Amino acid sequence: MDLRQIDEYRWRIEPSGNMRVPGLVFASRPMMDQIRKDQALDQVANVAHLPGIVKASLAMPDIHWGYGFPIGGVAAFDWNRGVVSPGGVGYDINCGVRLARTNLEADHLVDRLRELVEALYRDIPCGVGKGGPLKLSVKEEKKVLRQGSRWAVENGFGTQDDLEHTEDGGCLAGADPGLLSQRALERGRNQLGTLGSGNHFLEVGRVEQIHDAEAAEAYGLFQGQLTLMLHSGSRGLGYQVCDDFLASMARNVKSMDIQLPDRQLACAYIQSDLGRRYLQAMACAANYAWANRQLLLHRCRQTFQKVLAMGPRDLGMDLVYDVCHNIAKKEDHLVEGREMTLCVHRKGATRAFGPGHRVLPDDYRPVGQPILIPGDMGTASYVLKGTARAMEETFGSSCHGAGRVLSRKAAKKKSRGRSIARELEDRGILVRWSGRFTMAEEMPEAYKDVTQVVDVIHGAGIALKVARLKPMLVVKG
């Protein structure tokens, strides 16, 4: 592989063989030494072979090996001539993060944290396959799949303000529940409003540092403020949608007369019947994920109000923003000075639209879109803002988190004989979890240093720091 360093934060993979475009990787030199240890760079190059790809196959500094596309990968395809690939979206469709602010000073609640973490762990269903108290009828489930967060708000689980501060208003158009398998529908029927397992979490934190006072004010953030961050996705329904369509696309690609370097890049032309059906089914899963996070926020609001004995106005738990990580979207972007309609795949990557973009809510349009970058449970999470440079260089995209450096198996081995929960509590972070191996698999050392990841994005100018959040309590599946 011909990999060349362009500047302090950018690396270019020169086209070779049947690559249609170069690769562009955002990383520092020390990070690149780590990235080279797995096959993620090969996957960046592999994605560049796909029909209709424009400009470059991109990778963010949280890049690591994934299915087909690397996690942390971004690629955009001509809407009329390009392809859509489930490997470029991922199994957990619209896995994403939402951040809520409060009116509360975090330091005033230190003595209530243990009570609060126990209540949240009790009230928020979490864990592998865990269902929730909300049992959907077939008819209602299909409404959720079409309407997303709007269904939740219309049924009393949120406010219009929540919709305005959710990416795409919490709903992708074109969703068709009739395309989902019975197995997908069955898996989704009782999991709405549940956190899930693995790297999904609920985190209560404190605004530790403000980097950009103007943007922080626009987002309603202040020093010392108590915040809530939620990370969850489309649960078993999204996984099943991906699994079902991967099987169809693996068969389809044999008739496409293209040579793929990896069968995990199975795809279909966007304008084909299969391509359109996948996007409509993917929209269902995306809408389910948005409704899921909306219900989780609603339940968190109720728990805070109950534990702290205060009303919603005093609590002020308002949504800052909700962003999705695993998605393929129809968007218009300038490519070499010409506006093109594209299908932008973001897998383990976050939308990062800059100031003035028409899709942003009025209160954020002057400063740019909020970008939410969770950390490793033990250090920090970040709020950033989108930039004009991101629009020019990465199709308005940024990283989505710290990114793993240890497999779950390696993390379990490294944690042997240790109490990760005790280590975190010694650092002032209370943790509750349900999975037998969750704490071992999700130990902080399993992830890259989130500050180093964010420093690359900030230094490259594709997203700029607004605030740093320090975790105080965490609930994991």
Annotated catalytic residues are 400
**Residue 450 has which token pair?**
């989130």
Q: Pick the closest to residue 282 from 243, 232, 310, 224 (CA basis).
A: 243
CA 123 to chain centre: 23
**413, burial (CB in 10 Å: exposed 0-12, middle 13-18, buried 19+):** exposed
- Residue 175's beta-bridge partner residues? none
Structure tokens at 60: 């963010």
Give every CB contact of residue 181 below 8 A, 6+ residues apart in sequence: 240, 244
**H or E element in which residue 194 lies:** none
Q: Is 123 exposed, middle or buried (0-12, 13-18, 19+ CB in 10 A)?
A: middle
Residue 462 has φ and ψ, to the nearest 5°, of -90, -10
Q: Could you count the other beta carbons within 10 Å of the beta carbon of residue 287?
A: 29
- Using an 8 Å Cβ cutoff, are 54 and 76 in contact? yes
Please state whether beta strands 463-476 and 430-433 pair in parallel, antiparallel, or not at all (unpaired). parallel
User: Contact at 8 Å (CB) between 77 and 89?
Assistant: no
**Residue of 383, 352, 387 lying closest to 468 (CA atoms):** 383
